[in-house]
Amino acid sequence: MASQNSKVIGLAIAGAVGGFLFGFDSSVVNGAIDAIKSDFALGDALLGITVAIALLGCAVGAFIAGRLADRLGRIPVMLIGSGLFVVSAIAAGLATEVGVLIVARVVGGLGIGIASVIAPAYIAEISPAGIRGRLGSLQQLAITVGIFAALLSDAVFAGLAGGESQPLWLGLAAWRWMFLAGVVPGVVYGLIALRLPESPRYLVLKGDTAKARTVFEKYWPGQDADVALGDIQRSIDTETAAQRTGTLRGNRFGLKPIVWIGIILSVFQQFVGINVIFYYSTELWDAVGFTQANALGISVVTGVVNILVTLVAIALVDRIGRRPILMTGSIGMALSLGTMALAFSQATAGASGPELTGAWGPIALVAANLFVVFFGASWGPLVWVLLGEIFPNSIRARALGVAAAAQWIANFIITVTFPSLSAASLPLTYAGYAVFAALSFFFILRVVPETKGMKLEDADDLLAARAAS
């Protein structure tokens, strides 16, 4: 059993490298923002577009990934995502005009969007039910490691050059090397994908049962391949008619209820404001008394905390279940965000923005890090687990694409609106995120089914079982 699990774990880790690209791309721009603004003489509006535009590319990539995966297979689509990411890293690092940089960001977003869909789908399809939650959580772990790696590499490049705008190697400024560094994980992801076996569910769907059997026998030696293949084939046979009609469509505002559950899960994950911490944390650290020189280092520490609590989630998800962890996380996020709103309501106006005096500074700092803890131990990894589990086999890849696209659009909305919302009222902004965190608790309580220990072939019956409970 240990040997069996080690082989599957190896596949899941390899598949999750796509999440590393996701995290790396989302944070690498942080260290380059000031340099980009200066070198290209950008105003605040155009700078915001340059930073956030990648997220729209991600939404498009996520949306098309499902159909591509069903048509071409999971591995070829991984390779497409890898190639787009590498092209983007090179183009962004060498861009001489802001238009080229924007296009490069969009191309990178397409690659990241594709990777964000394929990784959880692939992991879910190669994982046994008993450890699928832990393996699915590897996607978020890879994202957090990618965030940390980007922040750390930004700090290293800026430190070596004496500033992000200063020349480093080959006459290129440090901020350009921050982007060029993305070539390494992009190429590694592609090389890993070339060595991965195709998803057995995709192989059965395409009629290549012999190859699917080979995958089962090699990577699941402790399980009966005939039983597993039979389960997959029966689910495919049952859903053939629905699959022909493309069946994301349903009677709930044009979509199946389970698709809406995936979309709303994705939106809640972003509307609690987690990316505000990673995109705009400098403002927060300034407000609580830290200098800008220390802000990047503090963000690196936050990245480490995010990794550690994700490991906690991985350890608990298959023991406790998805719903209890998510609801605990919702309560913790609501309380910590509410505390941040209260703290900033006591802020005074400073030369560079709100300033917290007395105990309110440490309170806000602790609350912000508790928010990261509660998110990282619950909604961060577990949403990806659920998105890989709740959809029926016939629509899994496409539904994942729609849900992930919704997530990227929600991410874009939060990223673009925070500067203006915080300028109007930082306390109300954090209070708004707290409201969404509280609403997410009731959404899990009333709507979201438990998938602990469930076979993927049983996904069709999830909502019926939930309604009967």
Which residue has better confidence, 266 or 251?
Answer: 266
Question: Over the stretch 79-137, which tens digit does the pLDDT of each residue have?
Answer: 888 899 899 989 988 888 888 888 888 898 888 888 777 777 777 777 666 666 666 66
Torsions phi, psi of 43, nearest 5?
-80, 170
Taking phi first (over 0 means left), then psi (-120 to 50 degrees means alpha), and beta for anything else, what does residue 213 get? alpha
Q: What is the pLDDT of residue 25?
A: 78
Task: Indicate whether 403 pLDDT > 80.
Answer: yes
Hey, is 340 helix, strand or coil? helix
Q: What is the pLDDT of residue 191?
A: 86
Q: What is the pLDDT of residue 296?
A: 61
Question: Over the stretch 187-199, which tens digit does the pLDDT of each residue have?
Answer: 888 888 887 777 7
Task: Indicate whether 159 pLDDT > 80.
Answer: no
Across the chain, mean pLDDT equals: 76
**CA-CA distance, 85 to 111, in Å (whole number)?**
5
465: confidence class by pLDDT, cuts 50, 70, 90: very low
Q: What is the pLDDT of residue 7?
A: 64
Task: Indicate whether 333 pLDDT > 90.
Answer: yes
Q: What is the pLDDT of residue 1?
A: 41
Task: Indicate whether 75 pLDDT > 80.
Answer: yes
**Structure tokens of 114?**
């594709």
Which residue has better confidence, 41 or 352?
Answer: 41
Average pLDDT estimate for 35-41: 75
Beta bridge partners of 340: none
**Structure tokens of 124?**
């879910």
349: confidence class by pLDDT, cuts 50, 70, 90: low
468: confidence class by pLDDT, cuts 50, 70, 90: very low
Closest CA to 114 of 405, 363, 424: 405
The top-scoring range by mean pLDDT among 40-54, 191-205, 217-231, 347-361 is: 191-205
Alpha helices by DSSP H, 288-321: 292-320
Are 203 and 215 in contact, with CB atoms under 8 Å apart? Answer: yes
Q: What is the pLDDT of residue 335?
A: 95
Hey, is 206 helix, strand or coil? coil
Q: What is the pLDDT of residue 469?
A: 45
What is the pTM (predicted TM-score) of this model?
A: 0.69
Question: Over the stretch 352-386, which tens digit does the pLDDT of each residue have?
Answer: 566 667 777 788 888 888 998 899 888 887 887 78
N-to-C CA span, the chain: 33
Residue with tokens 């409201």: 435
Which residue has better confidence, 446 or 14?
Answer: 446
Alpha helices by DSSP H, 73-207: 74-94, 98-126, 132-161, 174-180, 183-195, 200-205
**CA-CA distance, 65 to 401, in Å (whole number)?**
6
282: confidence class by pLDDT, cuts 50, 70, 90: low
Q: What is the pLDDT of residue 320?
A: 80
Least confident of 366-380, 385-399, 418-432: 385-399
**Cα dihedral sign for 373, 23, 187, 196?**
positive
32: confidence class by pLDDT, cuts 50, 70, 90: confident
Q: What is the pLDDT of residue 464?
A: 46
Total residues found in the chain within this entry: 469
Q: What is the pLDDT of residue 97?
A: 84
**CA-CA distance, 333 to 72, in Å (whole number)?**
40
Average pLDDT estimate for 254-268: 84
Look up the CATH superfamily of 2-196+245-468.
Answer: MFS general substrate transporter like domains (1.20.1250.20)
Say what percent of the chain tops pLDDT 90.
7
Residues 6 or more apart whose CB falls under 8 angstroms from that of 297 comprise: 155
Question: Over the stretch 121-156, which tens digit does the pLDDT of each residue have?
Answer: 777 777 666 666 666 667 767 877 887 888 788 778
Closest CA to 386 of 308, 466, 306, 299: 466
DSSP state of 169: S
**CA-CA distance, 310 to 374, in Å (whole number)?**
10
Q: What is the pLDDT of residue 461?
A: 54
Task: Indicate whether 406 pLDDT > 90.
Answer: no
Task: Indicate whether 169 pLDDT > 80.
Answer: yes
